[in-house]
Amino acid sequence: MTLQQLKYVHAVAAEGHFGRAAIRCRVAQPTLSMQLKKLEHELGSVLFDRSTQPIQLTEVGQQVHATAQRVLDELGGLSDWMAGTTERMDGHLRLAVLPTLAPTVLPRLMPALVERCPDLEVLVLERTTADMVRDLHNGDIDVGVLVTPLSDTKLRYEPTFMEPMLAYLHPDHAASSIPSGQLAASDLPIESMLLLEEGHCFRSQVLQLCGAPERGADLGFKCESGSIETLKRLVRQSGGCTLIPGLEALENRQDPCVRQFADPQPAREVSLVVRPNYHREALLHGLKDTLRSVVPQAYHTSPSYRRIPWEASRA
């Protein structure tokens, strides 16, 4: 078993296709296939179910891939250490951000990060939580900005700030007369609620906070959108309510539709997430410090926030 063979196993597991894996490894496909066949012969077991599309790992293949991932992570950390990159703030960074964070976080973060790390080349990607976790495990991204906690114990989490969840109400909504800062989740019946579509963790947090019976029944229609801005416009034009992240409200501080919940305010925990063996500590903590510097100070340590989980409900 060679290191190159382990790299090929990892590439096929990540791509689900021998041709794409060969391109990823910058070798000819026959070379990659021959080496994997040789490894299977050596181990006496098939590693891939070639009858499926995408190609799937067999049970033995899963064990070999897990070993390959650990070996490659350790070697990557050793390479970083040898190159002195653990203390450097340059090089390349593949950064993934949730769609519900990207519109408000990236315009704040990127100018500050460019100023702090002018020699750092950053590739920014939008990913849902499920895709981000997969890409972290596959080594396709370096750092994810997402909502925690997660049930995945194989990743490393750096909690960075708490973002409050705010209500967004039509003027005719029954709760619109309640002063900001005194609102309770029970004042927002889910029957008048508009939601993000499935796949967004913010949607699951809203359902955990407000319940999940017949949503939208009082409006005469149901809507599940991928855009918080779309939900806000629907509320303003059609009635009902929705929930929005705190940073979204900062974009228009005078919006009369925004209402704050009573303390302790429901909030989502935003964290930087990396693989356990990610060794670029200076860059990781520099990114964390920069991100904290571009959100309100109250988001850092305010005791008035109540963290709302989301993984328990994927409705």
Render pLDDT for 39-92 as a digit per residue (tens, 0 to 9): 999 999 899 998 888 899 999 999 889 888 888 777 776 566 555 556 677 888
Q: What is the pLDDT of residue 198?
A: 75
Average pLDDT over residues 185-195: 83
Mean pLDDT of 208-234: 72
Which of 81, 82, 57 has its CA nearest to residue 69?
A: 57
Hey, how many other C-beta atoms are within 10 angstroms of the C-beta on 99?
Answer: 18
List the alpha helices (DSSP H) in the chain.
Answer: 3-15, 18-25, 29-43, 59-83, 102-116, 129-138, 201-210, 228-238, 246-250, 281-293, 298-301
Across the chain, mean pLDDT equals 86
How confident is residue 195, by pLDDT bands cut at 50, 70 and 90? confident
Residue 7 C-alpha from the chain's centroid: 26
In angstroms, rounded to a whole number, what is the distance separating the alpha carbons of residues 48 and 252? 53
**Per-residue confidence at 267, pLDDT binned at 50, 70, 90?**
very high
pLDDT of residue 290: 96
Domains of the chain: 3-83 (1.10.10.10), 87-161+269-306 (3.40.190.10), 162-266 (3.40.190.10)
pLDDT, tens digit, for every residue of 6-42?
Answer: 888 899 998 899 999 999 888 899 999 999 999 999 9
User: Rounded to two decimals, what is the model's pTM?
Assistant: 0.71
Quote the CA–CA distance of 50 and 47 in Å, as a whole number.
Answer: 9
Average pLDDT of 170-187? 90
The percent of residues in the chain predicted with pLDDT above 90, rounded, is 43
Q: What is the pLDDT of residue 84?
A: 54
CB of 144 closer than 8 Å to CB of 275: no
pLDDT value at 109 more than 60? yes
Q: Which pLDDT belongs to residue 299? A: 92
Judged against a pLDDT cut of 50, whether residue 313 lies above it is answered with no
Q: In this structure, are residues 90 and 280 in contact, taking their beta carbons and an 8 Å threshold?
A: no
Percent of the chain with pLDDT over 70: 89
Residue 212's pLDDT is 61
Rounded CA-CA distance 183/162 in Å is 19
